[in-house]
Amino acid sequence: MNSTELRTMVTVAEARARARRADDLVREAADRAGLIDVAIGVVDSPLGELFVAVTRKGVACVGFDDQDRAALEDRFADGLSPRVVMSSRATDDVRKQLDEYFGGARRDFDLAVDHRLMSPFVRKVMAETAKVPYGEVSTYGRLATRLRHPEAARAVGAALGSNPIPIVLPCHRIIGASGKLVGYAGGLQRKEFLLRLEGDPTLFPG
């Protein structure tokens, strides 16, 4: 590599660094001015990297690392706002509470929730699901009965499968009538991990 090529590479690297810094400054300014409608960030967890979205109404999404993030961002743009921006500052409270939960220091989340990515029926299902305490489980059938639709266990299962805010809204606490772990959008291994973390003794004795 001659000196001209080296200078060109240095110049390109500097230009990219300046562009990244300018982009960061724009995001920080938008964040301070309250111009971000949907703030997104990432959280390291024992389940892999979690992708979170927060609006002025509250947390709107917790996604797993094997989900299509481009598709999630498109969903945010369609269902929330096209102004979607990476912001660690705006998502910091969600990150902190998730860290506490996985570290065993938190049992209940103290977060406002943005329900706009849910249908009215899903909202009702998730409201009932949120009443299942930490360390306990319920079944699809019992949940359907509490919703006064005892014949709708399958519809309840489908609603839980579309939950955009898993962990915070604890759909993992709903199991099959036989006690089997079924129907978790994040995968049964993640569901088992969360229930083990919460220490349900009826599922995992000894």
Q: Which residues are catalytic?
A: 171
Q: Give the DSSP per-residue string, 165-183.
A: STTTS-GGGEE-TTS----
Cite the beta strand spans of 47-137 per DSSP E: 50-55, 58-63, 84-86
Cα(5)–Cα(59) distance, integer angstroms: 48
CA distance linking residue 180 with residue 195, whole number of Å: 12
Distance CA(127)–CA(189), nearest Å, equals: 24
Q: Which two tokens stand for residue 111?
A: 């977060």
Strands 58-63 and 84-86: unpaired
Beta 84-86 vs 138-139: how paired, if at all?
A: unpaired
Q: What is the DSSP string of 62-74?
A: EE-TTS-HHHHHH
Written as six digits, the tokens of 27 are: 């995001």
Residue 23, SS3?
helix
The amino acid sitting at 76 is F
